[in-house]
Amino acid sequence: MSLQKFIDQAISPWMQSEGPDADIVLSSRIRLARNLTDFAFPVNASKDQREKAFHYIKERLEKEAYHSMGQFEWINMDGLEPIEKEVLVEKHLISPNLIQYSNHAAVLINENESVSIMVNEEDHLRIQCLFPGFQLNEALTLSNGIDDWLEEKFNYAFHETRGYLTSCPTNVGTGLRASVMVHLPALMLTQRMNRIAPAINQFGLVVRGIYGEGSEALGNVFQISNQMTLGKSEEDIVEDLRGVVMQLIQQEKAARRDLLDMSKIQLEDRIYRSYGVLAYSRIIHSKEAATCLSDVRLGIDLGLIKGVSRSILNELMVLTQPGFLQHYFKEALSPDERDIKRATLIRERLNLEDFQKPTD
Amino acid sequence: MECQECHLRPATLHFTKIVNGDKMEYHLCDQCAKEKGDVMAGSGSFSIHHLLSGLLNFEQHVGENHHHNHSVLKCPKCGLTYPEFVEIGKFGCDECYKAFHDKLDPVFRKVHSGNTMHTGKIPKRAGKNMNMKRKVSTLKETLQKLIEDEEFEKAAEIRDEIRALENGRNDE
Ligand SMILES: [Zn+2]
Ligand SMILES: [Zn+2]
């Protein structure tokens, strides 16, 4: 398969369009946790109960369509190869938990992969809506619509004072987790993130790094999400997160301006070196790749690198993860082999671009 | 910022927790967070196990002086006991919320910044029933008062209204 074709299949269609504030906010996500009153929650349920709930849900959803969105594809976890499952996790379409519980578990995915509904994860139903850029309200509206549609088919576990009842006490009430994925290279380079992250926590929000085989904030990509789900309305939870992210965008923009004003030559040096590493290296670890991709993406956002598409960061962050690498090269790879294949894939991907050499 | 536990890896997880009324800040790397098994909202891998165990231990301590109310709470629908809930940190079914109701306020207060009541969305179908139930119970109170006041004519009207509402529910 050609790389372009592979990318078209590997990158969710919703990711290929740009949303508002795309220079900093990569994506916005809303997740709603819902349970049925007719069955025990999946985590503690017996095998028999899990199976009953699974078939009950399948019967009512398998061939259903939500408005103009077209039919959802029902994917049984039992029927997938381990690598296929990993790829779904790397595309953020399912959680690692769904693999763990893959007995009588499934996911429904719409055509452009912006909506996924996990079945029999920790809760009976987990609705997720993903939007490119900064579109939390849009994601909430869509999630609410899908939620209403599901409620027509299922008797929700709902309590007057506790709200939507979830398996874990940390999700009860709204069952809502709102999050944005942000790229903050300038706040990291200027070391301002150290002060900002604790300040964000003061608003009841969680900041965490995502991506990577290990554990760090690879590629300066962070996820910011609400911690509490009970006692605030859905709109307020989203509005509070939105407010903080708007300030974060301003801070990142200011830091980018400061870098250009005060250390342009150092910044250019860093960005072009990183481009060189990505374009010519033969062995690259995921951490180094992420750092260089973040630099190059910053270079594109600041107009220092021309002819390379912005989506390269999001795309290659996804494609160079272990599951995708093995999926693309169609073989199991050891960590050392992955580093070689990762470098190959990045070089091939950059070859599809029309990088314009700087004139000076 | 470095991880406050290992001082080796950069902290990727930042959150605050109210412990005994004091706000505590945590800055951990993913690995230490996992080892600590601490609250990590937004990810499936966290456990609120420690938090819950702490609460239960506290209760057992108090319970030593109150042997008479020491019977173990158990959910009639799924069979989960309160100690089991504390052990796993997950409810077994929706009835667990009712079965353990009296013990849950402190748990929710800790996890949700002092909140115990849902103020968000109400589902259309499940909520319709909820509104109806609320109306019926208010009407029943009114009915009781009318009977006490010997206002039988009005009481009959209210009684019919309650019947109509309850029949409406049965038709659904
Ligand atoms: Zn650590
Ligand atoms: Zn139960």
Q: Is the pLDDT of residue A259 over 80?
A: yes
> Residue A213: what pLDDT?
41
Question: Tokens for B143?
Answer: 């009915």
Q: Is the pLDDT of residue A196 over 70?
A: yes
- Give me the residue label for tokens 């903050």: A184
**A186 compared with B18, residue with greater pLDDT:** A186
Q: What is the mean pLDDT of residues B7-28?
A: 68
Measuring CA to CA, how many Å separate B146 from each of A14, B68, B160, B164?
Answer: 61, 41, 14, 19
Q: Is the pLDDT of residue B15 over 90?
A: no
Residue window 188-217, chain A: list those with CB within 8 Å of chain B.
193-194, 197-198, 200-202, 204, 206-209, 214-217
As a residue count, chain A comes to: 360
* Dist CA A268 CA A305 (whole Å): 9
Q: What percent of chain A has pLDDT over 70?
A: 98
Q: What is the mean pLDDT of residues A191-216?
A: 78
Q: In this predicted structure, which of A64-78, A241-255, B158-172 has the lowest mean pLDDT?
A: B158-172
Q: What is the pLDDT of residues B70-118, one digit of tens each?
A: 578 999 999 999 999 988 899 999 999 999 999 999 999 988 989 999 9
> Residue B50: what pLDDT?
58
Q: Is the pLDDT of residue B48 over 60?
A: no
Q: CA-CA-CA-CA torsion for B64, B66, B67, B71, nearest 10 degrees?
A: -100
> Residue B35: what pLDDT?
65
User: Which helix or strand (DSSP H or E) is residue A34 part of?
Assistant: strand A25-34
Please state, as a whole number, how many other Cβ atoms lie within 10 Å of the Cβ of residue A6: 17
* Dist CA B74 CA A74 (whole Å): 36
DSSP A207-269: EEE--SSSSS-GGGEEEEEE---SSS-HHHHHHHHHHHHHHHHHHHHHHHHHHHHH-HHHHHH
**A338 compared with B16, residue with greater pLDDT:** A338
Residue A292 — pLDDT band, cuts 50, 70, 90? very high
Q: Is the pLDDT of residue A314 over 60?
A: yes
- Partner residue facing B112 (CB), from A168, A173, A225: A173
- Partner residue facing A216 (CB), from B12, B78, B90: B12
User: Looking at beta carbons, which residues of chain A come within 8 Å of B134?
Assistant: 160
Q: What is the pLDDT of residues A20-44, one digit of tens each?
A: 999 999 999 999 999 999 999 998 8
**Ligand 2 centre distance from Cα of residue A298 (Å):** 51
Q: Is the pLDDT of residue B163 over 80?
A: yes
- Give me the residue label for tokens 């605050």: B16
Q: What is the mean pLDDT of residues A255-263?
A: 95
Helix, strand, coil percentages, rounded to 5, for chain B: 55, 10, 35
Please state, rounded to an integer, the average pLDDT across all residues of chain A: 91
Q: Is the pLDDT of residue A6 over 90?
A: no
Residue B11 carries which side chain, given as an amino acid letter?
A
Using an 8 Å Cβ cutoff, are A178 and A140 in contact?
Answer: yes
Using an 8 Å Cβ cutoff, are B120 and A230 in contact?
Answer: no
Which residues make Cβ contacts (< 8 Å) with residue A104, sequence separation at least 6?
A47, A50, A51, A53, A54, A78, A120
Please state, as a whole number, how many other Cβ atoms lie within 10 Å of the Cβ of residue A150: 23
Asked if the Cβ–Cβ distance from B1 to A174 is below 8 Å, we say: no
* Dist CA A311 CA A11 (whole Å): 10
Q: Is the pLDDT of residue B138 over 90?
A: no
Asked if the Cβ–Cβ distance from A152 to B125 is below 8 Å, we say: yes
Shortest alpha-carbon distance between residue A207 and chain B (Å)? 6
> Residue B38: what pLDDT?
43
Residue B63 — pLDDT band, cuts 50, 70, 90? very low
> Residue B16: what pLDDT?
64
Protein fold of A3-252: Creatine Kinase; Chain A, domain 2 (3.30.590)
**A76 compared with A313, residue with greater pLDDT:** A76
Q: What percent of chain A has pLDDT over 90?
A: 64
Q: Is the pLDDT of residue B61 over 90?
A: no
User: Looking at beta carbons, which residues of chain A come within 8 Å of B48?
Assistant: 168-170
pTM of the model as a whole: 0.80
User: Which of A95, A161, A164, A170 would best serve as a mutation to test chain B binding (most B beta carbons within 10 A)?
Assistant: A170
Measuring CA to CA, how many Å separate B80 from each of A101, A129, B96?
Answer: 20, 33, 7
H helices present in chain A, as ranges: 3-10, 47-61, 82-90, 96-100, 136-153, 185-189, 193-201, 234-262, 264-280, 286-301, 312-319, 322-329, 335-351
> Residue A277: what pLDDT?
97
**A260 compared with B29, residue with greater pLDDT:** A260
**A317 compared with A36, residue with greater pLDDT:** A36
Residue A181 — pLDDT band, cuts 50, 70, 90? very high
* Dist CA A134 CA A26 (whole Å): 7
Binding residues of A for ATP: 27-31, 92, 126, 177-181, 208-213
> Residue A197: what pLDDT?
87
Q: What is the pLDDT of residues A135-152, one digit of tens each?
A: 999 999 999 999 999 999
Using an 8 Å Cβ cutoff, are B48 and A170 in contact?
Answer: yes
Highest mean pLDDT among A211-225, A226-240, B58-72: A226-240
Asked if the Cβ–Cβ distance from A198 to B14 is below 8 Å, we say: yes
Which residues make Cβ contacts (< 8 Å) with residue A109, sequence separation at least 6?
A72, A73, A75, A93, A115, A116
Question: Tokens for A40?
Answer: 């025990």
**Ligand 1 centre distance from Cα of residue B66 (Å):** 42
> Residue B169: what pLDDT?
57
Q: What is the mean pLDDT of residues A193-202?
A: 88
Highest mean pLDDT among A110-119, A202-211, B122-131: A110-119
Q: In this predicted structure, which of A111-120, A291-300, A318-327, B5-14 has the lowest mean pLDDT?
A: B5-14
Shortest alpha-carbon distance between residue B120 and chain A (Å)? 4
User: Looking at beta carbons, which residues of chain B come within 8 Å of A176?
Assistant: 120
Q: CA-CA-CA-CA torsion for B137, B138, B142, B143, nearest 10 degrees?
A: -30
What is the largest distance, in Å, between two alpha-carbon atoms of chain B?
79
Q: Is the pLDDT of residue A198 over 50?
A: yes
Q: Is the pLDDT of residue B34 over 70?
A: no
Asked if the Cβ–Cβ distance from A223 to B42 is below 8 Å, we say: yes
Q: What is the mean pLDDT of residues A270-299?
A: 95
